[in-house]
Amino acid sequence: MEEAIIDSLDVATVGEVLIPAGYRVEPEADRNDQASLRPAAGRPAYRISFGGPRPGAEGKFTNATLSTSFLVQGDLPLGTVNHWNSSKRFARLHLEKDVLVLGMDISVQGGVTAWHLLAQIEVWEELLGELIAYLRTETAELNAARGAGEIRVLAELDNDRSAAEGGDPAAPLASG
């Protein structure tokens, strides 16, 4: 990986950093029809969406958001979300009705190396793995304590990806 300074992001630039490092990514359009990336099969589902348009550079951005969401069935206490947030840095978890969202912003404002950008994405993937383990433990403990009204956290996958991977979007990520 060369030491060129990256001061703007787009699908191609992020792909040029991730692919040589062994990542497989797929371009797609997000809900606002903006270009975004997602990891290919075999990794937890998340999206890299671009924001902060770079002045004078059409289609280039100074920051991106890495995000993933999970469907929650049952009543997940806000204390579970708050505990995660108070014990972790860099990414934030929030609950909107029955959707649990983890997000992390990255910025290349002022310029960063490809290694720095890759390190940020590796931090994200580590946090995502920790969240999945945390949710499995927490929901198992909450469900055991309740005895009724099970809480389940489901991976939220789009239908095309789920079918292509032979997966079930309703398969529990975490439940008791």
Through-space distance between the first and last CA atoms of the chain, rounded to whole angstroms? 44
CB 162 within 8 A of CB 168: yes
Question: Between 64 and 33, whose confidence is greater?
Answer: 64
Q: How far apart are CA 86 and CA 89, in angstroms?
A: 8
Q: How far apart are CA 169 and CA 114, in angstroms?
A: 34
> Domain of 114: which CATH number?
3.30.1460.10
pLDDT tens-digit readout, 106-115 = 999 999 999 9
- Report pLDDT for 170: 46
Count of structural domains, the chain? 1
Question: Between 174 and 78, whose confidence is greater?
Answer: 78
Give the residue numbers spanning the domain of 90. 5-175
